[in-house]
C-alpha cells in the first residue's frame, strides 16, 4: 500500500538560512500523524512546502504515490490534499454557509461554470448544511464569517478544510488559542471529521497530540529527530533531551 | 421550479427533517430566482412607462444615456465589487465594442450585411470579450495595485493606438455610422429616439439580469471568495488567476454590450470613448453608487448621468462638484450611496426607523446651509476668477449676484461656515441617535 | 547623425531625470506605505502652478524654493487628513482615494487658473543657448534642469544613507512594525515622507513648467508614464526607478528623433503594398508616431517576461 504522503530529502532555504534541512518522512494512509517540535523548528514551513504554498529548494514530495513537488496549491488540493492554517484563513465577507459551500464547489465538480446557479443545486446546499451541522455552526450560517467568535472561526476553518472531501487533511495548530473546554470540543470534532482519512497535524498541546495521534514525528531545527508511536516518542532519549523534557509537565496535566 | 418542490417537501414532512436539511432548504429558497422575479418584472414595467412620464426629447436622450451607463457600470462592478479588481482601463472594452459596432453598422449599410439592430450590442459584447481574453491572460495573475497598474497601462496603450491607427479609429473625428440601415424589427427602423429607448431598455434589462445571474453561479461566487481571500481559494482547489480571468472576460463582454448600445444611440465613436477619462468615469459611477451591492452601480450610473446632463447645463463647475462628491464618498461612505441607505436596514427591521426622523430633520438645516454656502462661494469665485473684464455677475440658484460687492460673499460665507459648524455641533447627537435606532441599547459601537 | 545622437542623449537625459524626480518620491512613498499615489503627478502640476503664480509676483527664483515647500505642505496635509483616514479600508481604497484626489486637483487647478496654458517661462538669466553644435542650440535652461535634478539626488542619497532620519526611513521601508516598536513615531515619518515626496514632485513641476508647458492636463500626461517607470524599474526599488527613468527618457527622445518607418523597412525588403488597404496605417507606421505607446509596450513586455521589474525584488 502506498503511503499517503512521502517526503524525500525535502529542503528549504530562505536566502542563506536553512529552515528545513532534509526531511524524509512517510505518512501512512489512514493514520493520524502529529508533527511536534519547539517554536521555530519549521513545522509551519513544512506544511507550506507540502501544500504547495512555498517552492522547495530540494527534494521530492509524493501524494498517494504521485509527485506533487512542483505543483501549485490548487493543483495539489484537487489531487486530494486539504489544509487549514495556523492563523484563521476564511472568507470574511461571505456568510458562514457560503464559506463552506465555496470549500465544496471544486470537489463537487462545479469548477468555474457560469451556466449553473448555486442556489438551485440541492446536493451542494445539503452537503454544505451537513458539514455546518458537523462543525456545530448550523445556527450561525447567515452571519458574515468575519464576525464569528474566535473558536467558531477555528471550527469554520476546519469545516472549509474537510468540505472538499480530500483524503489527506492537514491541520496547522487547530487548538491554538483555545480554552480547555473549547479544545476538547475541537479534538472531538477532528476525530469525527477525519474518520477514514489521513490526518497530519501540527500541534503544541501535548494532551491533544497524545490523545489523537497514531504516530508522532518530532521536528527540531528543520530535521526530524524521531518518528514513532506516542509511547516510542515519549521513551526516546533524543526527544527528551531536545524537546519533550521541557513541556512534559504541561503535557501530563492534560493527560 | 425547484423552489416549489422545496416548499412541497417541507409541507409533507416538516417534523422528520433534520436541522441541516431545513437550513439547506432555507438557503435554496432564499437564493431562488423566483424571489427576485417581482423586482425584475417591476423594473421592466418601470422601463416601459418611463417615456410616458418623461416624453421630452431631452428626457429620452438622458434615459438612453443612463441605460448605457448602467450596463457599463454593472460590468465594471463585476471587476471591482465582485472580483476585487480595481481597473483604470475598463473603457477599452466599452470603446472597442463600440467602434466595432459602428464598423458593423457601416458594413450593413454599404456591404449589404444582414443584421437586425437589436443584435448589434451583443456583437459588440463579443468584440469586447475578444479583446478581454488576451488582456485578461496576462493581467489577472494578481489583484490589487499591480492589476490596477496593468489596467492603466493597457488603457493608455489602446488610447494612444487609437490616434495612430486612423483607418480603424477614424483619427480625431472618430468613426460614424447609420443605425437605420438594417432590416426592420417589428416594423421599426429605429429612426426615432423613443424606438431606440425601447431597444436600449430591453437590452439593459437583459444584460442586468445576466450579470445578476452570473453573480449567483459557481464562477461568480468564487469571484467573491477570491476577492475576500485569494490564498484560501487556492487551497480549496481554485486557481485565483483563472477565477479572475473568467470575471474579467465576462466584464469585458458586458462593457462591449454597453459600447454597442452607445454606438446605436450616438452613431459615432471617438477616442474619448476608450480613454482614461471614460475609464475613470465608470469607476466614479460604480463607487459613488456603492460597489458592495448589485444595485449600487445602477444608482451611481443614474445619479452621475443626471449630474452630467442636467447639472452641466447650470454650472461650468459640475465636474468639481462630482470630484468633491467622489472624494467625500471614498473617505466617509466607502460603501457608496447605496451603503448609506442600506445601513438603515437594522433600524428598519427593529421598527425604530422613526426614531431617526427628528434628528435627520434637524440635520437637514445646517447641511443645506453648508451645501448652499459652499456652492455660492465656488460659483462666485469662479465668476471672479474666470470671467472677462467687466462681467461680474454670477448666476446661482436662479439668483444674479454681483461678485464685486461684499454682501453676497458675506452671506455665502456665513451660510457655509454656519452650516459646517452646526453639523459639527450635532454630529455626536446624530451618532448617538443612529446607534440607538440601530443597535441594542445603542451599545453597538 | 552624430548631432542627432548627442541631442537625443541630452534631451533624453532631461526627460529621464525629470521622470526620476517624480518616480523617486513615488517609490519612497510606495515602499514605506504600500500606497501607489495616483495623485503624485498632480502634486507635480501644483508645483508648476504655484511657481507660476509666485513668479508673477516675486520672480522665478523665490518660486523655485517656495512652491515645492507649499506642495510638500499640501502633501503632508493630504496624508494626515485624507490618506490616513482611508488607510483602514486597505490598499485598494487608498488607490481609489488618490485617484479621486488626482481628479479633484485637476478640477481645483481649473477653478483657480482656468483651462488655458499659462505663460510660465524660464527666467531671463537662463534664456540663452548654452552651446551650439552643428548649428543647433542647446538651451541653458535644460542644463539648469539637469543640474538641479542631479543636485537633488545627491542630497536625497546623502540624507537616506548618512543621516539618522534616513536610517529610520530605510528601516521603516522594510520593517514598519519593528521601527514602531523601537519608539519611533511611524505615522509622523509617513507624513514626512509623503510631504517630501510631494515636494520633490512639486520641484519637478516648478522646473518642468516652463519647458513642457503649464496646463491642467500636464498631470495626466506625465502621470501614467511615471507609473510605467516604477513598474518597469521594479516596485519599491530606487535604483530600478532610476534606470527605468533614463531608459524611458531615451526611448522616447530617440523614437521621436529617428524617423524610421515600416515603409522604409519594406522598401529595403523590396515589398510594396496597396495604399488603400485596411492595414495601410500599419505599413506607413513610423517611429515618431509610435513614440507615445513605446513605454506602455515596454510595460506589458516587462510584466509578461519579468514580473518583478528590472531591479525589483517584489513579485508584481
Instruction: Give the whole-angstrom CA distance, residue C58 versus residue C51.
Output: 10
Q: Which domain range does residue C262 map to?
A: 2-305
CB contact under 8 A, C96 and B88: no
- Distance from the Cα of C307 to chain B's closest Cα (Å) equals 10
In sequence order, what are the residues at sequence separation of 6 or more whose Cβ sits closer than 8 angstroms to the Cβ of residue C55? Answer: C62, C63, C120
For residue B218, what are the CA distances in angstroms to A120, B79, B382, C8? 11, 16, 52, 55
Q: Could you tell me which residue, C286 or B301, shows the higher pLDDT? A: B301
Residue C268 confidence (pLDDT): 78
pLDDT tier, C278 (very low <50, low <70, confident <90, very high otherwise):
low
* Contact list, A90 vs chain B (CB under 8 Å): 229, 232
Residue A250 binned pLDDT confidence (cut-offs 50, 70, 90): very low
Determine the pLDDT at residue B283: 97
CB proximity B304 to C under 8 Å: no
Where does the pLDDT of residue C279 fall: very low under 50, low under 70, confident under 90, or very high at 90 and above? low
pLDDT value at residue C304: 78
Min CA distance, C190 vs chain B (Å)? Answer: 19
More confident: A249 or A186: A186
Per-residue pLDDT of C86-125, as tens digits, reads 988 888 899 999 999 999 999 999 999 988 888 888 887 8
As for how many domains chain C has, the answer is 1
Residue C58 belongs to a domain: yes
| Per-residue exposure over C217-247, b if at least 16 CB sit within 10 Å of its own CB, e if not | ebbbebbbbbbbbbbbbbbbbbebbbbbbbb
Strand segments, DSSP code E, in B283-405 are 393-396, 399-402
Chain mean position to CA C271: 41
Average pLDDT over chain A reads 90
Give the chain A residue whose CA is nearest to the CA of B221. A102
- Give chain B's contact residues with A (Cβ, < 8 Å): 2, 18-21, 23-24, 27-28, 30-33, 213-214, 216-222, 224-225, 227-229, 231-240, 242-243, 246, 250
pLDDT in tens, A30-80: 999 999 998 888 999 999 999 999 999 999 999 999 999 999 999 999 999
Residue B181's closest CA among B258, B262, B98, B264?
B264
Which residues lie below 8 Å from residue A231, measured CB to CB, with a gap of 6+?
Answer: none
Of B86, B167, B378, the CB nearest to C278: B167
Q: Which residues make Cβ contacts (< 8 Å) with residue B161, sequence separation at least 6?
A: B169, C293
**Nearest C-alpha of chain B: how many angstroms from A242?**
33
Chain C: list its partners (3+ Cβ pairs within 8 Å).
Answer: B
Contact assignment for A97 to B27 by CB distance below 8 Å: yes
Q: How confident is the model at residue C259, as a pLDDT? A: 78
Question: How buried is C269 (Cβ within 10 angstroms: 0-12 exposed, 13-18 middle, 19+ buried)?
Answer: exposed
- Do the chains contact at B219 and A132, CB–CB below 8 Å? no
Q: C313 in a domain, yes or no? A: no
What is the C-alpha to C-alpha distance for residues C79 and C114, in angstroms, rounded to an integer? 27
| CB < 8 Å to A77, chain B | 234-237
Q: A73, B216: Cβ pair inside 8 Å?
A: no
Q: Does B138 touch chain C (CB under 8 A)?
A: yes
Mean pLDDT, residues C232-259: 88
Determine the pLDDT at residue A244: 54
Q: Which residues of chain B have pLDDT under 50?
A: 1-13, 441-445
Residues A12, A49 contacting (CB under 8 angstroms): yes
- Check: complex ipTM more than 0.90: yes
Would you put residue A95 in left (φ > 0), alpha (ψ -120 to 50) or beta? beta
Dist. CA B254–CA B207, nearest whole Å: 7
Given a cut of 70, whether residue C138 has pLDDT beyond it is yes
The pLDDT, as a whole number, for residue B85 is 96
Better pLDDT: C20 or C272: C20
Find the CB nearest B217 among A73, A93, A115.
Answer: A115
The domain segmentation of chain B, as residue ranges, is 32-272, 345-442
* pLDDT confidence of residue C170: 77
Domain A1-71+202-255's class?
Answer: alpha beta
Measure the CA–CA gap between C300 and B158, rounded to whole angstroms: 12
Helix (H, G, I), strand (E, B) or coil at A7: strand
**What is the tens place of the pLDDT at every residue in A95-147?**
999 999 999 999 999 999 999 999 999 999 999 999 999 999 999 999 999 99
Report the residue of C111, C286, C305 to disrupt the B interface, i.e. the one with the largest count of B CBs within 10 Å: C111
Q: Is A97 on the interface with B (CB under 8 A)?
A: yes
- Interface C:A, ≥3 CB–CB pairs < 8 Å: no
Q: CB-based contact (8 Å) between A95 and chain B? A: no
Cβ neighbours around C172 below 10 Å, total: 21
Amino acid at each position: 500500500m502506498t503511503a499517503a504522503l512521502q517526503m524525500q530529502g525535502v529542503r528549504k532555504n530562505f536566502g542563506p538560512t536553512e529552515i528545513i534541512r532534509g526531511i524524509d518522512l512517510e505518512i501512512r494512509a489512514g493514520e493520524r500523524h502529529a508533527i511536534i517540535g519547539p517554536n521555530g523548528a519549521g513545522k509551519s514551513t513544512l506544511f507550506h512546502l507540502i501544500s504547495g504554498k512555498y517552492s522547495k529548494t530540494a527534494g521530492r514530495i509524493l501524494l498517494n504515490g504521485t509527485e506533487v513537488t512542483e505543483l501549485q496549491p490548487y493543483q495539489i488540493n484537487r489531487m486530494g490534499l486539504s489544509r487549514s492554517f495556523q492563523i484563521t484563513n476564511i472568507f470574511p465577507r461571505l456568510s458562514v454557509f457560503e464559506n463552506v459551500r465555496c470549500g465544496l464547489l471544486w470537489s463537487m465538480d462545479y469548477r468555474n461554470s457560469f451556466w449553473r446557479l448555486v442556489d438551485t443545486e440541492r446536493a451542494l446546499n445539503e452537503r454544505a448544511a451537513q458539514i455546518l451541522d458537523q462543525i456545530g455552526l448550523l445556527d450561525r450560517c447567515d452571519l458574515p464569517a468575519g464576525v464569528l467568535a474566535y473558536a467558531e472561526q477555528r471550527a469554520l476553518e476546519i469545516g472549509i478544510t474537510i468540505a472538499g472531501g480530500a483524503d489527506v487533511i492537514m491541520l496547522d495548530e487547530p487548538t491554538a488559542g483555545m480554552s480547555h473546554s473549547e479544545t476538547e470540543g475541537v479534538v472531538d470534532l477532528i476525530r469525527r471529521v477525519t474518520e477514514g482519512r489521513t490526518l497530519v497535524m501540527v500541534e503544541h498541546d501535548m494532551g491533544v497530540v497524545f490523545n489523537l495521534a497514531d504516530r508522532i514525528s518530532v521536528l527540531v531545527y528543520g530535521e526530524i529527530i524521531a518518528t514513532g508511536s506516542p509511547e516510542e516518542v515519549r521513551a526516546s532519549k533524543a526527544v527528551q533531551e531536545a524537546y519533550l523534557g521541557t513541556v512534559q509537565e504541561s503535557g501530563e496535566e492534560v493527560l | 421550479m425547484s423552489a416549489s418542490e422545496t416548499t412541497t417537501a417541507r409541507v409533507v414532512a416538516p417534523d422528520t427533517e433534520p436541522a441541516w436539511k431545513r437550513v439547506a432548504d432555507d438557503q435554496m429558497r432564499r437564493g431562488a430566482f423566483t424571489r427576485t422575479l417581482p423586482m425584475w418584472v417591476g423594473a421592466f414595467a418601470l422601463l416601459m412607462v418611463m417615456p410616458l412620464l418623461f416624453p421630452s426629447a431631452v428626457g429620452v436622450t438622458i434615459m438612453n444615456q443612463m441605460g448605457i451607463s448602467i450596463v457599463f457600470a454593472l460590468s465594471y462592478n463585476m471587476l471591482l465589487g465582485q472580483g476585487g479588481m480595481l481597473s483604470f482601463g475598463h473603457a477599452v472594452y466599452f470603446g472597442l465594442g463600440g467602434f466595432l459596432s459602428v464598423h458593423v453598422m457601416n458594413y450593413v449599410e454599404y456591404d449589404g450585411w444582414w443584421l437586425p439592430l437589436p443584435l448589434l450590442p451583443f456583437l459588440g459584447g463579443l468584440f469586447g470579450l475578444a479583446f478581454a481574453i488576451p488582456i485578461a491572460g496576462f493581467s489577472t495573475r494578481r489583484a490589487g495595485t499591480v492589476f490596477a497598474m496593468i489596467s492603466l497601462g493597457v488603457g493608455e496603450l489602446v488610447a494612444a493606438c487609437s490616434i495612430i491607427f486612423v483607418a480603424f479609429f477614424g483619427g480625431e473625428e472618430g468613426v460614424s455610422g447609420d443605425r437605420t440601415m438594417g432590416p426592420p424589427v417589428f416594423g421599426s427602423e429605429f429612426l426615432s429616439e423613443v424606438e431606440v429607448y425601447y431597444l436600449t431598455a430591453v437590452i439593459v434589462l437583459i444584460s442586468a439580469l445576466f450579470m445578476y445571474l452570473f453573480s449567483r453561479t459557481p464562477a461568480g461566487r468564487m469571484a467573491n471568495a477570491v476577492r475576500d481571500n485569494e490564498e484560501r481559494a487556492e487551497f480549496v482547489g481554485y486557481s485565483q488567476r483563472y477565477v479572475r480571468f473568467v470575471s474579467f472576460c465576462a466584464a469585458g463582454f458586458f462593457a462591449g454590450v454597453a459600447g454597442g448600445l452607445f454606438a446605436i444611440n450616438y452613431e459615432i465613436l471617438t477616442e474619448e470613448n476608450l480613454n482614461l477619462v471614460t475609464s475613470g468615469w465608470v469607476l466614479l459611477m460604480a463607487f459613488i453608487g456603492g460597489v458592495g451591492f448589485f444595485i449600487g452601480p445602477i444608482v451611481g450610473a443614474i445619479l452621475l448621468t443626471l449630474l452630467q446632463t442636467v447639472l452641466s447645463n447650470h454650472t461650468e463647475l459640475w465636474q468639481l462638484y462630482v470630484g468633491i462628491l467622489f472624494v467625500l464618498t471614498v473617505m466617509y461612505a466607502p460603501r457608496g450611496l447605496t451603503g448609506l441607505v442600506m445601513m438603515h436596514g437594522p433600524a428598519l427591521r427593529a421598527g425604530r426607523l422613526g426614531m431617526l426622523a427628528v434628528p435627520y430633520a434637524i440635520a437637514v438645516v445646517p447641511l443645506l446651509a453648508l451645501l448652499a454656502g459652499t456652492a455660492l462661494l465656488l460659483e462666485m469665485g469662479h465668476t471672479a476668477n474666470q470671467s472677462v473684464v467687466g462681467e461680474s455677475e454670477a448666476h446661482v440658484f436662479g439668483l444674479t449676484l454681483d461678485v464685486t460687492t461684499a454682501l453676497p460673499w458675506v452671506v455665502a460665507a456665513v451660510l457655509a461656515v454656519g452650516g459646517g459648524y452646526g453639523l459639527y455641533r450635532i454630529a455626536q447627537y446624530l451618532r448617538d441617535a443612529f446607534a440607538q435606532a440601530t443597535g441594542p441599547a445603542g451599545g453597538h459601537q | 547623425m552624430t548631432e542627432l545622437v548627442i541631442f537625443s542623449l541630452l534631451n533624453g537625459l532631461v526627460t529621464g531625470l525629470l521622470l526620476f524626480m517624480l518616480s523617486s518620491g513615488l517609490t519612497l512613498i510606495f515602499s514605506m506605505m504600500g500606497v501607489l499615489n495616483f495623485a503624485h503627478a498632480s502634486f507635480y502640476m501644483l508645483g508648476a502652478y504655484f511657481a507660476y503664480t509666485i513668479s508673477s509676483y516675486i520672480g522665478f527664483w523665490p518660486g523655485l524654493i517656495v512652491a515645492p515647500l507649499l506642495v510638500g505642505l499640501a502633501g503632508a496635509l493630504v496624508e494626515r487628513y485624507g490618506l490616513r483616514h482611508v488607510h483602514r479600508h486597505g490598499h485598494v481604497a487608498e488607490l481609489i482615494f488618490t485617484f479621486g484626489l488626482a481628479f479633484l486637483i485637476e478640477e481645483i487647478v481649473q477653478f483657480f487658473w482656468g483651462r488655458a496654458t499659462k505663460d510660465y517661462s524660464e527666467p531671463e538669466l537662463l534664456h540663452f543657448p548654452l552651446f551650439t553644435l552643428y548649428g543647433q542650440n542647446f538651451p541653458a535652461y535644460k542644463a539648469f534642469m539637469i543640474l538641479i535634478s542631479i543636485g537633488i539626488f545627491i542630497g536625497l542619497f546623502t540624507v537616506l544613507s548618512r543621516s539618522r532620519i534616513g536610517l529610520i526611513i530605510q528601516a521603516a521601508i522594510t520593517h514598519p512594525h519593528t521601527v514602531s516598536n523601537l519608539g519611533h513615531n511611524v505615522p509622523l515619518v509617513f507624513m514626512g515622507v509623503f510631504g517630501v515626496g510631494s515636494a520633490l514632485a512639486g520641484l519637478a513641476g516648478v522646473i518642468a513648467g516652463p519647458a513642457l508647458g503649464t496646463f491642467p492636463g500636464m498631470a495626466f500626461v506625465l502621470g501614467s508614464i511615471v507609473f510605467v517607470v516604477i513598474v518597469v524599474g521594479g516596485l519599491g526599488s530606487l535604483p530600478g526607478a532610476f534606470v527605468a527613468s533614463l531608459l524611458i527618457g531615451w526611448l522616447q527622445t530617440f523614437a521621436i528623433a529617428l524617423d524610421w518607418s515600416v515603409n522604409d523597412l519594406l522598401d529595403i525588403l523590396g515589398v510594396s503594398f496597396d495604399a488603400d488597404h485596411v492595414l495601410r496605417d500599419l505599413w506607413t507606421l513610423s517611429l515618431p508616431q509610435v513614440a507615445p505607446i513605446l513605454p506602455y509596450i515596454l510595460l506589458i513586455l516587462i510584466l509578461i517576461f519579468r514580473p518583478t521589474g528590472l531591479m525589483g525584488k517584489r513579485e508584481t
